[in-house]
Amino acid sequence: MRFTSEQRLDDGVLERGFTLGEVPGILWTPGSRSAPAPLILMGHPGGLHKMYPRLAARARHAAAEGYATATIELPGSGDRPPLPAVDEARADLRRALQAGEPVADEVVERLILPLVDQAVPEWRATLDALLDLPGIGGPVGFAGGVIAVAVRLAVVEPRIAAALLFAGSYVPRAMVDQARQVTIPLLVLLQWDDEGNDRQLALDLFDAFGSKEKTLHANMGGHTGVPQSEGDAGNWFFGRHLR
């Protein structure tokens, strides 16, 4: 992990850009630290520059509660080399949605599986590097991003103790079975009238999770309309499970 930038934000939070191999990322750590800060890995839909304001706001909110947060760029997004096959699948998905047609399983697989296969090892390598830094400790939470990536991570990465999932992107149907292997506490956010999502699949996924403690919060307001109160709900969720 190589730090590429460093700035102290006005609330004392330290923001550091980094690269891990070819993957760019950002790490935010609380201004005042005594004990090692628990870490929240923040997913996003791809495009770090575009997503920066929202991610930084969430990171500062979390830092105020004592959490370190980190994010990395998604494969094929932002300044990373494009993934033409994934872009083609994304275009196919958009065409189907615009035509009001059902989205074929194979389109979802072409879109999501390469992201999962590439992003999950990158997140794990990032986690290795972050936990080697002074002042950052476990337990680790994962929040948001491409839900299929988060599900696979929750299955394969035992250091992740709790996850806040956003059911706002498609999941290959085959992964619903994999969800049965997830046993950590989950808070799943679902935008009920999210037209770019398959509500029934999201409910099937929630049903499939093997976790004894799992909560679904469904709200109105479309894909981007998650109510502000869910930010607090997320903090309370991690407060219960990462402390």
Residue identified by tokens 């009238």 is 193
Residue type, 46: G
Cβ nearer to its own copies, comparing 6 with 232: 232
Among 44, 206, 234, 242, binds its own copies (CB under 8 A): 206
Cβ nearer to its own copies, comparing 108 with 190: 190
Interface with its own copies, residue 227, by CB under 8 A: yes
Interface with its own copies, residue 216, by CB under 8 A: yes
Tokens in use for 223? 């894909």
Interface with its own copies, residue 236, by CB under 8 A: yes
SS3 25: strand
Among 117, 180, 192, 195, binds its own copies (CB under 8 A): 192
Do residues 155 and 51 touch, judged by C-beta distance below 8 A?
A: no
Residue identified by tokens 């049903």 is 207
Interface with its own copies, residue 181, by CB under 8 A: no
Among 79, 106, 135, 229, binds its own copies (CB under 8 A): 229
Residue type, 142: F
Residue type, 175: M
The Cα–Cα gap between 49 and 53 comes to 8
Interface with its own copies, residue 3, by CB under 8 A: no
Among 11, 22, 128, 207, binds its own copies (CB under 8 A): 207
The Cα–Cα gap between 131 and 150 comes to 19
Residues that bind its own copies (CB under 8 A): 192, 203, 206-207, 211-220, 227, 229, 232-233, 236, 240
